[in-house]
Chain A
């Protein structure tokens, strides 16, 4: 009984929990509600994942209106995997958050944070699970609006300006998406994604469909911070509260990538846009530029959070690079990197959250001698940094391996060399951190004063994330198998 309602519960639980936080207003109770809600959501997503593994695609009719008239929630191997990633990170970050938030946000504003956080989670999960195009827009805006609030809650006034800039660009992106959806509706008369895909497959790609695709691609690219539409990201990540950064960096852009995959492979799948249109080539070029430019810019940042934000832009380049190929290995690489990067970046920002908890906004001048004062945290940063570089034995290596195989499969050895060369840039910025943290020992520079002990909850969750970075470098049954299954499903959509 309950198990058949899982798709609805996935979204409804955090959605209902969000206003409850407002009722209570007490920071601790609000946090508890968020923790319970996000844990339940996580369990629901596990349930959904298992159901999809056993039964295949789940179709859920919202309010018993049968599709294509009513809103359908449709869970297949692709979004079951994404749901699992988003909700697990949502739950774990919540468990981590309380002490960090206490340090960074006024306690009388905590309930607002949690309301926005849960709404953001609702939005991200909704975008992922829904099978209705307009519903995507609505959930996207729910998540975006709450994201702006989360960022604006950051300590420094720069957070306000970063949130404002993101609001402008994010709204433009969302509006582009809604224009694209509108054009598709005009031409096909349906909003159901499944229905859209089959109707689009029956018609030629005329002008309006092309325009729709263009609007959608640009809109989604803004949301996933594809170079050069990434301008909102670095400041937003740098100045948001640590908890919000960890959550957003690990999930928000990943959901946007999912949208790209969904539209490019499923909705437009039968139109063969990869062979007919230069979409793949455009993505490819932008991804390569992102890998190099963003990594290079990252090297010159003074703020550690900003540096890793730029690194995110570069890493998103790897994900979109895999998505631009329309081959099994490349898509697997893309999706598995989506997962691996989520845990790696999540871990890094959680660690930086601990650093911020102890010394405030981490800049390169402040973290001198960090290796001595916070040995475990620094060591964790090094491990996660290695995963970003793609050193074997870490999660990052697995995705890089598949990416290289995918590129070599095409015979593009020069591109493989470029991918590897760009990971050398990652060495540069990671090593800048290592050298600053470990080798600056001058007494007068060593200004770090530790506030207090690292709270248990923060430490546990962070350790869990860091270990995951290593674990998924060795045990890839879950990550790679699910990713390659998702890739297979996506490619099947393009064939029917």
Chain B
């Protein structure tokens, strides 16, 4: 079955679309960040999926093993996860500051309060 062969990628695609939708559609800043998190984690799946080789083992040289999984994507994604955590953390910190400054987390209200006429972007 083709569909199930590539199930990981389908899931990743779904996550990308869902994450982006949440980012665009939600008015609440926290929900926006949640969407961003979902979107980012899709990337992890895209990277990890091809690196996993069924029957392969960790890349440590042992005489009775011939199939190894590729360690590089795992390492990359570790980095990407760290980056993702930092991004979300910074985003949440900003949200806290925004809440202190505006008293709300709803985007439309924030725009009403300050940007008003200024928001022709």
Contact = CB atoms under 8 A, between A and B. Distances in A.
Q: Do A and B bind each other?
A: yes
A445 to B, nearest CB: 21
A141 B98 contact: no
Given A134-B76, A138-B79, A160 B101 contact: yes
Nearest to A151: B94
Interface in A141-177: 141, 145, 148-149, 152, 157-158, 160-161, 163-164, 167-168, 171-172, 175
Contacts of B114: 157-158, 161
Nearest to B29: A164
Interface in B83-117: 83, 86-87, 90-91, 94-95, 97-98, 101-102, 110, 114-115
A491 interface: no
B43 interface: yes
A60 B55 CA distance: 37
B80 interface: yes
A205 to B, nearest CB: 19
Contact of B97 (A134, A160, A178, A300): A160
A302 B115 CA distance: 12
Contacts of B90: 145, 148-149, 167
Interface in B20-52: 20, 23, 29, 32-33, 36, 39-40, 43, 46-47, 50
B66 interface: no
B80 to A, nearest CB: 6
Contacts of A134: 76, 79
Interface in A265-320: 297, 300, 302-303, 306
Interface in B59-92: 72-73, 76, 79-80, 83, 86-87, 90-91
B75 to A, nearest CB: 9
Contact of B87 (A141, A182, A231, A302): A141
A234 B40 contact: no
A160 B113 CA distance: 14
B27 to A, nearest CB: 13
A235 B111 CA distance: 12
A152 B36 CA distance: 19
A172 B101 contact: no
Contacts of A297: 120
A365 to B, nearest CB: 13
B108 to A, nearest CB: 12
Interface residues of B, number: 35
B46 A179 contact: yes
Nearest to B23: A168
B1 interface: no
Contacts of B39: 172, 175
Contact of B98 (A148, A164, A185, A235): A164
A234 B43 contact: no
B43 to A, nearest CB: 6
Interface in A350-390: none
A186 interface: yes
Contacts of A302: 118
Nearest to A152: B94
Nearest to B33: A168
A280 to B, nearest CB: 27
B74 to A, nearest CB: 12
B3 interface: no
A163 to B, nearest CB: 6
A160 B100 CA distance: 11
B94 A157 contact: no
B83 A138 contact: yes
B46 A145 contact: no
A182 B47 contact: yes
Interface string A6-25: 00000000000000000000
Contacts of B87: 141, 145, 167, 171
Contacts of B50: 186
A288 to B, nearest CB: 20
Interface in A234-284: 234-235
B40 A161 contact: no
Given A141-B83, A145-B86, A160 B73 contact: no
A158 B115 contact: yes
Contacts of B40: 171, 175
Contacts of B23: 168, 172
A157 B102 contact: yes
Most buried by B among A145, A167, A186: A167
A157 B20 CA distance: 26
B116 to A, nearest CB: 11
Contacts of A168: 23, 32-33, 36, 91
Interface string A324-338: 000000000000000
Interface of B: 16, 20, 23, 29, 32-33, 36, 39-40, 43, 46-47, 50, 72-73, 76, 79-80, 83, 86-87, 90-91, 94-95, 97-98, 101-102, 110, 114-115, 118, 120-121
6 shortest A-B CB distances, which residue pairs? Answer: A157-B101, A141-B83, A164-B94, A160-B98, A160-B97, A182-B47
Interface of A: 134, 137-138, 141, 145, 148-149, 152, 157-158, 160-161, 163-164, 167-168, 171-172, 175, 178-179, 182-183, 185-186, 191, 231, 234-235, 297, 300, 302-303, 306
8 contacts: A137-B83, A157-B102, A172-B36, A175-B39, A175-B43, A178-B43, A179-B16, A191-B72
Given A145-B87, A164-B98, A303-B118, 15 more contacts: A134-B79, A137-B80, A141-B86, A141-B87, A145-B86, A157-B101, A161-B102, A167-B91, A167-B94, A171-B87, A175-B39, A179-B46, A191-B72, A234-B121, A306-B118
